[in-house]
A and B are shown apart, each in its own frame.
Chain A
Amino acid sequence: MALFEVSGFRSYSEVRGRQTHLADRTNHYNFGTKTQEFAVPVGVDPSGFLKTCNHDGGVCIDMNHGTTTLAFKFRHGVIVAVDSRASAGRYLASNDVNKVIEINPYLLGTMSGSAADCQYWERLLAKECRLYRLRNNHRISVAAASKLLCNMMLGYRGMGLSVGSMICGWDKQGPGLYYVDDNGTRLSGRMFSTGCGNGYAYGVIDSGYREDMTVEEAYELGRRGIAHATHRDAYSGGVVNMYHMQEDGWIKVCKEDVSELIHRYRKGMF
């Protein structure tokens, strides 16, 4: 392919053999996507193994994204709100997990799906973003950062990763919000919600969303979305961690307990 010839990829591997992933120069062009982070041993076929696991009648490995995260763009930036519950099947591992990774002062990533996968790959993304900044003397755009994560996911597609993440930031184009998936889905949008509580959150933020909301209204909408989702979804709970992405960086807005919020909202109920 013409691009291979232009980037000189083949010539490097032919000349130097397999140690190219240690050389900084290759990574500079490909951002580490051509060479995989984890070498899969010969003879092991993770995607084939997973396919046999997931057919009807056999063992079904159910990857549920047990969480609720939401993010939406509005006039004054991006609001990111997440719950804080980590579950392992029916066992609640923790009610106080931070599901937002602060990549740098102007980029945030949310996590849903497998906690291990999300934490690892988003930290890797943070490393790549930092390297980009050092090499190019300007910040990485949100589109490029989400594309990096997407390509990492595509490298291991079908092998059992479980990541549902939203990359939010503010760059030269303004506020940016991308949804990135373990299937390699990458979508730009105005409003996303991930996790198994996402349906409940969508109902709330769909009905309350207005482009010209004030900042306080947007905070309240994000809080309500997570609170009502945790009320109905068993795998979401804990506290609402909310961030507001502004032009000069993000700020952490609040960390409020969900049960107190629900009591406040449902005061007039039966």
Chain B
Amino acid sequence: MALQDLCNYHDILVDDATSESAPFGKRIGFKNMSGLTLRNSTSLFKFYIPAPEYLEGSPIQFGQVSTIQSSKDILHPDSILQSLSSLTAPPLASSQSVPLPFPMSHGTTTLAFMFQGGVLAAADTRSSCSGLVACPAAQKILPIHSHLVSTTSGTSADCALWKRILARELRLYQLRHGRRLSTGGAAKLLSHMLHPFKGTKLCVAATLCGWDGGEVEECRDQDFDLKDCREVTKSQVRSLEKSLDASLDKAQRASLEADGQLSLTRKKQSFSGPRLFYVCSDGTRLQGSLFSVGSGSPYAYSILDQGVEWKLTVDEAISIAREAVYRATHRDAYSGNFVDIYHISSKGWTRRSREDLKEEYYREKEKRTKEKRDVAGLDSVCAEK
């Protein structure tokens, strides 16, 4: 499969069998430099491997006294077995013997939905570390390329790293093939890249929001005189064909036939329009029209369910997204501070300036006190009567 060749998937699988297992769950994704003689040097996961002694312990115990480690080995028969057996024991199981330094909790609110104007992605900006607000102005929506944006949830470090890896791979694809990889392809790529880490503590839950439709589709659009932001589904393609046969003038038809195989053929599904995918490090990959991820997602979901429709205008969509994030930050302790809103259309992504939700809270509080005063005023008027 082309995608497998691209990420050297087979190489990674082969590497499993040859590398030593060690109590370090992430090892499987890394190439062991010593065994590299036969391998293709354009491999995907080429990271610097530090001295082997450090790999025996977990990164959490880096630099600590070794007595802790040996006692841990005694306590956990898994890790003893790990060091004894080699090839067949999956390195994934070893990560369970490593204790976490503190309980991890993934607190955020991100959401994304499709509508006629493209895709809208919104997220809060609070980066929390088990009760401490580590950063009140984090960036949870990371642009990947001009027409693809990814909202991230889970461990910030993991998300930042994988987003950069994905961006690099998509750029390479674009350079090699002359067109952008579709959102679905990017989602599949990310999902396959994360698959070796299934079962480890890696936690990435991203929604990829993009606009598909590269250079080929754009000149087709001019020929057909289609409106912007219109999905070209299979049935529409067929109906277009019929209408073209019936009503098109000769010059356009000639140019179409010259385009030949690329344009209206069914084999190459050339789709143009908004796309939304949810990819998770446990292997989930879903296409949909509305997603919300994170600890604040229930609060956001109900607002989005109420208001999101296909025929929203851009401004209405932005206000619904802002309201949904605001409500989630209002109730969820791990979400808050600001809200970022990105809008992806056929022309690429645009970002609104960051809005402080504190202002929204004060505005609403004022409105409520004003209502209370009105209510009290009305009551007193009634009493007087």
Chain B, 363-377, contact with A by CB distance < 8 Å: what is the 0/1 string?
000001001101100
Query: Are the C-beta atoms of A232 and B372 separated by less than 8 Å?
Result: no
Q: Is the interface of B mostly helix, strand, loop or mixed?
A: helix
- The reply to whether the CB of B239 lies closer than 8 angstroms to some CB of chain A is no
**Do B298 and A203 touch (CB < 8 A)?**
yes
Instruction: Report yes or no: A268 in contact with B368, Cβ–Cβ below 8 A.
Output: no
Whether A270 sits at the interface, judged by CB under 8 Å, is yes
Asked if B42 lies at the interface with its beta carbon under 8 angstroms from chain A, I say no
B372 to chain A, nearest CB (A): 5
- Chain A positions within 8 Å of B, measured between CB atoms, are 75, 197-204, 206-207, 210-212, 224-225, 228-229, 231-233, 265-266, 268-270
Q: Mark B50-77, 1 if CB is under 8 A from A, else 0.
A: 0000000000000000000000000000
Q: How far is it, in angstroms, between the C-alpha of A158 and the C-alpha of B372 when the chains are bound?
A: 41
Q: Contacts of B302 on A, CB cut-off 8 Å? A: 199-204, 225, 228-229, 232
B303 at the interface (CB under 8 A from A): yes
Q: How far is the CA of A225 from the CA of B330 in the complex (A)?
A: 17
User: Considering the chains assembled together, what is the distance between the CA atoms of A198 and B302 in angstroms?
Assistant: 10
Contact across chains for B311 and A210 when beta carbons are under 8 A apart: no
Q: Complex: how many Å from CA A83 to CA B349?
A: 41
Partner of A200, one of B299, B309, B323, B378: B299
Q: Is the CB of A228 within 8 A of B323?
A: no
Residues on A with C-beta less than 8 A from B371 are 210-212
Interface string of B276-307 (1 = CB under 8 A from A): 00000000000001000000011111110110
Asked whether B372 lies within 8 Å of A268 as measured between CB atoms, the reply is: no
Contacts A228-B302, A231-B305, A232-B301 given; does A206 touch B310 at CB 8 Å: no
Q: Shortest distance in angstroms between A266's beta carbon and chain B's nearest beta carbon? A: 7
Which of A199, A231, A269, A270 touches B331 (beta carbons < 8 Å)? Answer: A199
**In the complex, how many angstroms separate the beta carbon of A192 from the nearest chain B beta carbon?**
12
CA distance A230 to B375 in the complex (A): 33
Bound-complex Cα distance A270 to B374 (A): 40
Contact A204 B298 (CB under 8 A): no
Q: Which residue of B lies closest to A75 (CB)?
A: B375
Q: A200-B299, A206-B327 are in contact. Are A269 and B306 (CB under 8 A)?
A: no
Cα A224 to Cα B305 with chains together (Å): 10
Contact B289 A211 (CB under 8 A): no
Complex CA–CA separation, A203 to B299 (angstroms):
4
Whether, in the assembled complex, B333 has its beta carbon less than 8 Å from a beta carbon of chain A, the answer is no
CB closest chain-B residue, reference A268? B309
15 contacts between A and B (CB under 8 A): A199-B298, A200-B301, A202-B302, A202-B331, A203-B299, A204-B302, A207-B303, A207-B327, A211-B371, A212-B375, A265-B305, A268-B309, A268-B310, A269-B308, A270-B309
A200→B331 CA distance, assembly (Å):
11
Bound CA–CA A177/B314 (angstroms): 40
